[in-house]
Chains A and B, each alone.
Chain A
Amino acid sequence: MPQMTMLDALNDALHIAMEKDDDVVMLGEDIGKKGGVFGTTAGLHEKFGEMRVMDTPLSECGIIGTAVGMAIYGLRPVPEIQFQDFIFPGFDQIVSEMAKMRYRSGGHFTCPMVVRTPSGGGIRGGHYHSQSGEAYFAHTPGLRVVMPSTPREAKGLMLSAIFCDDPVIFLEPKALYRHGKEEVEEGFFTIDMDKARIAREGKDVTVVTWGAMTPICQDAATEVAEKGIDVEIVDMRSMLPWDAETVLDSVRKTGRCIAVQEAPRTCSFASEIAATVAEKAVDSLEAPVGRVSGFDTPFPYALEHVYKPDKKRVTNAIEYVASYE
């Protein structure tokens, strides 16, 4: 099996999807000759031509709005928003149109499309190239919100997303694009978006996370293992709909839980997890549910490393809930 970075794996998934189905088309800023600012769409324009891989005018509203039109027509568009931070001019199209099309038309019209967009920090990009906005989308019924955590996961989830009949916001953790390589199967395969993944088995503390925080939690788990704390990591994969059962099963086993995210704390997906665990697994809980997150401030430039949760912040939180009596 080939070794791939997450960028390679996503690029491979896009190639495979376009080869498999002529209805798969892409549109976005700089995705053509330049191959995307991160190189995720490299080679697609050359191979599939400008009718299927379109560089567009600079309008996220236009990119998403026209993709909605294409999707209703019957195509499977995969628009790219250059950074998740620039999605907001298209937010109306996402929230009012794409998310509600199936429901408001009584199931007659649908938007089988995937809005791909790099998310999160790690590149010293200040607030407009670093934010983690998953909660905005996870608060919108009708959307699917997915974020992979490894190269193989990225490929399998992307192929599921493209051939799924619901609209998907596919958040690509840019900090992991070139983070490391993993063996990834060749050719077409999918990973079930509806099922969370146990990224590490353990019996003492459940750590629920997703995207770029996953490897940080894995490092933290390795560190606390030396102190005798056995961590189970649940990688959510999807935040809407989300697999509460896997989280609850794990918490029923460990009795202790923290949720780890890069996004600001208040009204976040970590909050949703904490609430659900408190609601449905209270009898198993031996410690308060913890949240490790970015602060409730805009994402900063100079102090990025202070803002983002690091291994230390995660190990502190694990040790706190593990020793709670």
Chain B
Amino acid sequence: MSPTEMLQVMDVPQKSKGKAPAGLKGDDLKKMFRAMFFTRLLDQRGMNLQRQGRIGFYVPSFGQEASQIGAGYAMQDQDILWPSYRVISIALLKNVDLKIIFNQAWGNKADICKGRQMPNHYAIPDIGWMSISSPIGTQISHAAGAARAAQIRGENRASWAWFGDGGTSSNDFHAGMNFAAVWKAPCIFMCENNHWAISVPQEMQSASSSFAAKAVAYGMPGIRVDGNDVLAVYEACKEARERAEGGGGPTLIETVTFRMGPHSSSDDPSKYQAQELYDSWQKKDPIDRFRLWLKGKRLWTQKWEDELKEELMAEIAAAVESAESTPMPDVETLFDDVYAEVPPMLQEQREALLDQIRRSGDIEDTGGAFPL
């Protein structure tokens, strides 16, 4: 297939044709649906919490659940994940404790990253989930480097870099793609083409016939796949994973999908997006498509989904309650982790701060609202 054609398994619109990729059993397919559905519920809750002023910021992945879970399911446990801020679904697929997610959203004392970063910028070492950076694209070269490291050590671990269509314009996209291809490193570059980089449409991002086509010039396969077709994404990713393991080097996968929501809790797409465009993609909602497909295979019932919803909502509610009632990090932790040990220079600054608080009382939290 050329990198401008598009791989699909499920037919569009909602028909239940198409065979499940080899190796996927009923339970696998239901697990995939569960993670997609869970993501939708989590995102709805995250957005509401932000609207209610309970957390400061949230990034939903409405509409991109298939693009992410199809890939997540093709990963192996030992693989390394270099995520952007928009792929929380994969943590849900990997059964991460929801408290990790909500403690991070509050930046509280129990947050494994100690309240250092904005919501959605997780680091989850237990599942090989690297620390997320806001600067777009920086993780792409890290992924190439870690893939090279696995090669050097002779270990079967693939690196998965996640970024959007906007990310392909970054310096690190070029560096990461080029290095990985020269090294034939086991790296999979996941470009989620959700049509937008905040308000900049994909056609203003690149004049290339597709994002997948960029792979050709770097000397690696570029696959363009229907990103709202979870099975097609899985198939493409599984093949790329096999290629990586077999010494065949990196792959660029473009999942063609749509950001069915704002860029983040601070964005208002009505300023720049035509309603008709949104409507046309809503008809291709990846969860609706997969539900219909599963139903056709007798793997889905309304009762199952209702029970699932109840279970997941309860899980979310418990984690929210726990995170919200956990206190904020202690003031002195501000100075930890800048270096392996707190140097005298910072010890002095810490002492001065604590001394001020002893003499003048706690420092007032004046808040501040995030604009984008």
A residues contacting B by CB (< 8 A) are 29-30, 32-35, 37-38, 55-59, 61-62, 82, 85-86, 88-89, 121-129, 175, 265-266, 295-298, 300-307, 310, 312-313, 316
In contact, B136 and A126 (Cβ under 8 angstroms): no
B167 close to chain A: CB less than 8 A: yes
What number of B residues sit within 8 Å (CB to CB) of A? 54
B370 contacts which chain A residues (CB < 8 A)?
Answer: 123-125, 129
With a cutoff of 8 Å between Cβ atoms, the chain B residues found around residue A306 in the complex are 331, 334, 353, 363
> Shortest CB–CB separation between residue A89 and chain B, in angstroms?
5
B368–A122 contact, CB under 8 A?
A: yes
On whether A124 and B353 interact (CB within 8 A), knowing A88-B135, A312-B363, the answer reads: no
Residues on A with C-beta less than 8 A from B367 are 124
Q: Does B329 contact A (CB under 8 A)?
A: yes
CB distance B356 to A313 under 8 Å?
yes
What's the nearest-Cβ distance from chain B to residue A61, in Å?
5
- Whether A123 and B338, one on each chain, are in contact in the complex, defined by CB atoms closer than 8 angstroms, is no
A-binding segment of B193-201, B281-289, B299-307: B193-201
6 contacts between A and B (CB under 8 A): A58-B166, A295-B349, A297-B334, A301-B117, A302-B111, A312-B356
* B114: chain A residues within 8 A (beta carbon): 302
Q: Which residues of B contact A89 (CB under 8 A)?
A: 135, 170-171
- Whether B250 sits at the interface, judged by CB under 8 Å, is no
State the CA gap A265–B350 with chains docked (Å). Answer: 13
Interface membership of B314, Cβ < 8 A: no
Contact between chains at A58 and B134 (CB < 8 Å): no
Smallest CB-CB A-B distances: 9 pairs: A302-B115, A128-B134, A302-B107, A37-B372, A34-B199, A126-B118, A58-B166, A57-B169, A33-B272
Which residue of B135, B170, B200, B331 contacts A128 across the interface (Cβ within 8 Å)? B135
B positions within 8 Å CB-CB of A: 56-57, 107-108, 111, 114-118, 121, 133-137, 166-167, 169-171, 197-200, 204-206, 266, 271-272, 328-329, 331, 333-335, 338, 345-346, 349, 353, 356, 360, 363-372
Partner of B169, one of A30, A62, A123: A62
Whether B368 and A124, one on each chain, are in contact in the complex, defined by CB atoms closer than 8 angstroms, is yes
Known: A34-B198, A38-B371, A306-B363. A301 touches B107 (CB 8 A): yes
Say yes or no: A295 contacts B372, CB within 8 Å. no
What A residues does B205 contact at CB under 8 A? 57-58
Among candidates B134, B137, B199, residue contacting A85 with C-beta atoms closer than 8 Å: B134
Q: In the assembly, what is the distance between CA of A161 and CA of B251, in Å?
A: 46
**Complex Cα gap A305–B364 (Å):** 7
| Shortest beta-carbon distance from A43 to chain B in Å | 12
Select the residue from B111, B116, B206, B353 with max chain A CB neighbours within 10 A.
B116
| A155–B353 CA distance with the chains assembled, in angstroms | 37
Bound form: Cα–Cα A303–B366 in Å? 11
